[in-house]
Amino acid sequence: MTTTPAAAPAPTNLRRVPLAKRFLTLTWMIIGLMVAALVVFAFVQPSITVDTLVTGGMWALMAAGLALVFGVMNISNFAHGEFFMIGSLVAYFVFTPIQNAMLDDPSGTTLLKIFGPFAGMIAAVAVGFLVGAVLEVVLFRRLRKVSKDQWVMNTFLLTAGLSVVLVNGDQLIFGTDFRGVSRYWDVPPVRIIGTSVSVDRIAAFVIAIVTILAFSAFLRRSQTGRAMRAVAQDEAGAQMAGISLNRIFIITMGLSSALAALAGAALLWLYPSSPTVGQQPLQLAWFVVILAGLGNVQGAIIGAFIVSMLQTLSVYYIGVGWVDVLPTLFLILILLFKPSGLFGSEVKGVWEQ
């Protein structure tokens, strides 16, 4: 495998490259430009900075999950947006009764007010993990037996079918209604850097950051996380070291869909649940993953913020409809110069040939 989720060991000759040269690459210039823009906009147009950080955090969750299944299992998941949809649906059905209970009894405990929304998100994560794990056992394990040569493309097609089934199944059962909540935490917005920011936004950003940190700690430090990285690098070698592939695949798929479900749940107030709610997050997550380089989890997290900034800027200055057009042009330009993505390695892996 070319890319490892998190912690790709640095090439040994990196130290000999002068520091200035190391950071004068296209990748670092784009990252620097983005950070500078975030700082500048914080003074000029603070809502752009806030929007970029909030949605960026959530796209990072989506894209990290997508990059993870690609890196570890070589699955290119076209149904990733449907986990977002499932997450938002679960959060809606768990949180609405809680919200009603709070409305019936406004004097109710503050504990419920603070932790009620988390119940919805935790339920979404649990269901997301379960759905991912079941899909691995029922579908991907079977496909793995019959498909060897064209595995990557076949998973793409299989998950395309899965996406159709889930979207239309959702529509069949729950109809096309939008199911959302106006807000999670019923408290007045907070003023930050001269703009008022709702607590839901702050919470979404904090949840994203905490989850990303916990997730990378898990990949780096825990036994299972290390096993996952080992499988990503060399399946046969990992097996020889006594790692059970089936177990790792179940956990990887479950984790990936749990991350997407968490994003769906945490953004319920912005994206009310509907059968097609997962389409835009799916597109953006794929966009991020292609921009960053397939299977690169760290790159995907940084890439998510770059894409989120592009998206926010196009919405602010050009119009909502152009969200698909302009970032695509940017992506084409990047891929012209860096065909493996911003953080991709130039070494070819098995899946790319």
Partner 1 sequence: MATVTDMTAPTRDEAKAFARRRVIFAIVLVAIVLVLPFIPPFTGQDYQRFLVTGALMAAYAVAFDFTAGYIDIVNFGLAAFIGLGAYTSGLLAVDYGISPWIGMVAGAFVAGVVGLLTGMLTLRLRGMYAAVMAWFVGLALMGLVRNVPEITRGSLGLSTPQLLNTSDNLPYYYVIVALLLITIGVLMMVIRSKVGLAFRAIGQNLAAAKASGINPTRYLVINFTLSCAFAGLLGGFYAHYYGILTPDVMATSHTVEILAVAYIGGRGTLWGPAVIAFPLMVITGLLQAQLASMPGLELVLYGLLLILVMVFRPSGFAGMVTSLSNRLWPAPAEAPTASRPTP
Residues that bind partner 1 (CB under 8 A): 76, 139, 142-143, 146-147, 149-150, 152-154, 156-158, 160-165, 167-169, 171-172, 275, 279, 283, 286-287, 290, 294, 319, 321-325, 328-329, 331-332, 335-336, 339, 348, 351-353
* 164/187 with CB nearer partner 1: 164
Q: What is the largest CA-CA distance in the chain?
A: 67
* 93/156 with CB nearer partner 1: 156
* 7/335 with CB nearer partner 1: 335
* 239/328 with CB nearer partner 1: 328
Q: Phi then psi for 192, rounded to 5 degrees?
A: -125, 140
What are the C-alpha distances in Å from 141 to residues 113, 150, 238? 42, 15, 18
DSSP 190: E
Distance of CA 89 to the CA centre of its chain: 17
Distance of CA 169 to the CA centre of its chain: 23
* 184/286 with CB nearer partner 1: 286
* 146/240 with CB nearer partner 1: 146
* 27/198 with CB nearer partner 1: 27
CB of 202 to partner 1, least distance (A): 31
CB of 343 to partner 1, least distance (A): 14
CA atoms of 87 and 94, how far apart (whole Å): 11
CB of 320 to partner 1, least distance (A): 9
Residue closest to 284 by CA, chosen among 268, 254, 263: 263
CB of 305 to partner 1, least distance (A): 19
CB of 140 to partner 1, least distance (A): 9
CB of 96 to partner 1, least distance (A): 24
CB of 290 to partner 1, least distance (A): 5
Partnered with residue 191 across adjacent β-strands are: 196
Alpha helices, H only, the chain: 19-22, 26-44, 46-73, 80-104, 110-135, 141-146, 151-174, 199-221, 223-233, 235-240, 245-266, 279-292, 297-317, 325-337
Distance of CA 230 to the CA centre of its chain: 22
